[in-house]
A and B are shown apart, each in its own frame.
Chain A
């Protein structure tokens, strides 16, 4: 399976600022996914990052709040903009390199907004 490097692993940010999370994959992948896992809850898909086109956002998530870049087939960024304490969460990137055989996740970014 793919190896994903996700940075930063954690950060504490002031409200109103923005944080950009990076995911680097060791192989080319068609689709990358960004998830959020709020405390005590399961994962919620934020968006699908497609190379060469705009990201596809799930209901409840918008590009202005979570802009995504996908400049090539091995890299993506997610920005959490104008942060508030409600954005405190774990953010995970994920790739599907095995078709129907499941996804691999990055190690996550633990974000705390104060």
Chain B
């Protein structure tokens, strides 16, 4: 079983739609969780950290469910510029190394 699993998509949604991605992780000792965004032919960039209490940043909401070992990312009022691959990143155990999901591809359509 992979350490981190994501639905690869692709998700094709119209502008203004709400879209949600989930990511599951296998190690219950995982400590830190992030969502990264990767544009085509670019390096990944941190979108947001995921806190136990959930957190929101504008149109983006991240949540953590430790009992079920998954994190989610909700994007409201999708913009064309949100089109990218979204990577779920999890710290395995208590170390400093992080493991990446395979990414979920999102295309927002005019």
Out of A43, A45, A102, A105, name the residue touching B49 (CB < 8 Å).
A102
Q: Which residue of B lies closest to A56 (CB)?
A: B97
Q: Which of under 10, 10 to 19, 20 to 34, or 35 or more describes the interface residues of B? A: 20 to 34
Q: How many contacts A-B (CB < 8 Å)?
A: 46
Name which of A33, A100, A107 has the most chain B CB atoms within 10 A of its CB: A100
CA distance A28 to B41 in the complex (A): 27
Q: Which residue of A lies closest to B34 (CB)?
A: A102
A48 touching B96 in the complex, CB below 8 Å, given contacts A41-B102, A108-B43 = yes
Q: Contact: B49 with A101, CB < 8 Å? A: yes
Interface set of B (CB-CB < 8 Å, partner A): 31-32, 34, 36, 41-46, 49, 87, 89, 91, 96-103
Could you name 26 residue pairs across A and B whose Cβ atoms are closer than 8 Å? Answer: A1-B46, A31-B96, A33-B97, A43-B44, A43-B87, A43-B100, A44-B100, A45-B97, A45-B99, A48-B97, A58-B97, A92-B43, A92-B44, A100-B31, A100-B32, A100-B49, A102-B36, A102-B46, A102-B49, A103-B98, A105-B43, A105-B44, A105-B45, A107-B43, A108-B42, A110-B41
